[in-house]
Amino acid sequence: MNFRKTAVVGSFAAGAALALAPIASADDLTTIDSDEISVLNSIFTIETDLAGDSSDVTLANAANPFDIITPADITTVQGAGTTPFDFLVYGLDPSAAGLAGDPGSYNVFNGALTEFDDAFNSEVYGLLNNGALIPHADLFGSANEISTALATGTDTGAATTFFDAGLADLSGFFDIPSLSDASTLSDLTSLLDPGGLDLGSLTDLGSLSDLGSLLGGLL
């Protein structure tokens, strides 16, 4: 269990460092999408290297921008939720979190980072395009998740739907059921840090809309 927790926490720390790196400015989401996919692939590379599965990875190509586990090697790499890869990608309890049938970089942190990318993209696209709903092509999640989010009909509705899905995935990663009840960024920081660590301006953002407004002033 100590190995599992150390591996998972180390993986999350590496992902946070990459995800919080400055994003190149752009007038649309082309560069942002590319940067986000690069981050996902970089994290996946770290995790598959740590798990000893780097030779089982099919790298991103023109047909698929995401690194994936080579289909023929999935049962060897992923197993039944007990391999090092499982704990690094899906979290503390891989079986409970749910194993993907086609594992790839979009599954890092149990898929939470992909959902948060989609939430961010939805909000930023609306800010750049007078509240317009983001096109399907700028989103990374599954078809069902994207359809549900876009069915809200607004940029903020879509962003909130993806954000909530990300919280649910993150709760599965850390095996913390209550995390899916966090409806705002303030709630999330309180759940992740009940000890009172000073997280500064993050807790001043009451909602994802506040985050979008802040980002809008920077773009």
SS (H, E, C) the chain: CHHHHHHHHHHHHHHHHHHCCCCCCCCCCHHHHHHHHHHHHHHHHHHHHHHCCHHHEECCCCCCCCCEECHHHHHHHCCCCCCHHHHHHHCCCHHHHCCCCCCEHHHHHHHHHHHHHHHHHHHHHHHHCCCCCCCHHHCCCCHHHHHHHHCCCCHHHHHHHHHHHHHHHHHHHHCCHHHHHCCCHHHHHHHHCCCCCCCHHHHHCCCHHHHHHHHHCCC
pLDDT at 153: 96
Taking residues 55-80, report their average pLDDT. 95
pLDDT at 212: 52
pLDDT at 84: 96
pLDDT band at 122 (very low <50, low <70, confident <90, very high): very high
Query: pTM for the full model?
Result: 0.71
Taking residues 74-87, report their average pLDDT. 94
Taking residues 61-78, report their average pLDDT. 95
pLDDT at 30: 87
Taking residues 171-194, report their average pLDDT. 62
Whether residue 51 contacts residue 12, with contact meaning beta carbons closer than 8 Å, is answered with: no
pLDDT band at 111 (very low <50, low <70, confident <90, very high): very high
What percent of the chain is predicted at pLDDT more than 70?
A: 68
pLDDT at 205: 47
Residue 195 has pLDDT above 70, yes or no: no
pLDDT band at 215 (very low <50, low <70, confident <90, very high): very low
